[in-house]
Amino acid sequence: MSFFDAFSLLREPLLASALAAVLLGYLGIFVVLRRIAFVSAALSQVSGLGVALAFYVGSFLGIDPHGESVPLYASPVVYALVLACLGSVLLGSPSRARRVNPESVVALFYLAASASVVLVLASPRIVQEAHEVGELLFGNAVAVREEHLVELAITGAAVLALHAVLFKDFLFVSFDHESARSMGYPVARLDVLLHLSLGVAVAVSTRAIGTLPVFAFLVLPAGAALLWAQRMRVVIALAVTISLLAAVFGFYLSFVYSLPTGPTMAALCALAWLPGLRLLRGHHS
């Protein structure tokens, strides 16, 4: 069966990948420039833990969280959202404990979430679903339902609307935190809001396309775009375009060559750095 013959089956996952790519490609500008790439990695793992927990809880309640009409208390996206929002607020709040290195806190979240996902999936209660959840988390699942697509579209629109309204404010506090604080800007509240928007986007995208492509879309396209462009608008346009092309072509290639979808998209995002590596070397020479 050719890709175009199968298009009616692939429409939802392809659209979900494209929507997530646009949303995360844009947010990646803040992730890369604020140097919080591993915050986004930690958030995607925390969201993944939420998805795994939903299956674990579902096993007690006799509910298949991957099925249709899942109640909210067993919905993977709700679990992912709650944990990601909690993680965003905790990672976005300034630490008052001066002895704790912020990077160590990010590492704690990342490692604790990653280990917990493996431990939850190793539970005998979800042996049947473990493979399916693992596929979902690593972005190999192509079973995206229309309802997941709607969730992603609504969340994406809300996050992008928030950023359209507060773009200048997020820009100021991200570019020069200390000056913004000194000049009376509500930096802490804006930081939490920015992290929260990131957490929500990561949670809903993780449920739809998996942790690996989510992390890749957040970091690689923005990094590649910054090698090429000098203007913020151009960098944003370039990052979103790279993400979108990686999602669509990654999806196509994974179907045609029977490759895992998430890693194919991530590999294409990484390829976007190749033309710019020469520039990177030039900057350092």
Partner 1 sequence: MIIALDRVEIGYDRPLLPPISLSISPGERWGLLGPNGSGKSTLLRTILGLLPPVSGKVLHPLGRRPRVGYVPQSHRADPAWPLSAHEVVLMGRYPALGIARRPGSADHEAVRAQLQAVGLAGQDKKPFRALSGGQRQRALVARALVAEPELLVLDEPTSEMDPAAEHALLHLVLELAAKRETAVLFVTHQISAAAGFAHTLALINSPAHLVQIGPAQELLTSENLSRLYGRTVEIKREGARALVWIASDGKEAP
Does 179 bind partner 1 (CB under 8 A)? Our answer is yes
What is the maximal distance between C-alpha atoms in the chain? 62
Query: In the complex, what is the shortest distance from the CB of residue 109 to partner 1, in angstroms, rounded to a whole number?
Result: 24
Does 186 bind partner 1 (CB under 8 A)? Our answer is yes
d(CA 191, CA 186): 9
d(CA 161, CA 118): 35
Query: In the complex, what is the shortest distance from the CB of residue 233 to partner 1, in angstroms, rounded to a whole number?
Result: 9
Query: In the complex, what is the shortest distance from the CB of residue 35 to partner 1, in angstroms, rounded to a whole number?
Result: 9
Does 267 bind partner 1 (CB under 8 A)? Our answer is no
Question: Considering only residues 130, 145, 176, 253, which one is a binding residue for partner 1 as defined by CB under 8 A?
Answer: 176
Q: Tell me whether residue 144 or residue 190 sits nearer to partner 1 (CB atom).
A: 190
d(CA 261, CA 251): 6
d(CA 271, CA 52): 31
Which part of the chain contacts partner 1 (CB under 8 A), choosing from 65-73, 111-119, 163-171, 196-204?
A: 163-171
Which part of the chain contacts partner 1 (CB under 8 A), choosing from 106-114, 121-129, 226-234, 262-270?
A: 226-234
Query: In the complex, what is the shortest distance from the CB of residue 57 to partner 1, in angstroms, rounded to a whole number?
Result: 39
Of the candidates 112, 116, 118, 57, which has an alpha carbon nearest to the alpha carbon of residue 90?
Answer: 112
Q: What is the CB-side half-sphere exposure of residue 191 using CA atoms within 13 A?
A: 22
Asked if 17 and 177 count as a contact pair (C-beta separation under 8 A), the reply is no
In sign, the C-alpha dihedral spanning 235, 236, 241, 244 is: positive
Q: Tell me whether residue 125 or residue 181 sits nearer to partner 1 (CB atom).
A: 181
> What is the binding site for partner 1 (CB under 8 A)?
33, 98, 165-166, 168-169, 171-172, 175-176, 178-186, 190, 226, 229-232, 234-235
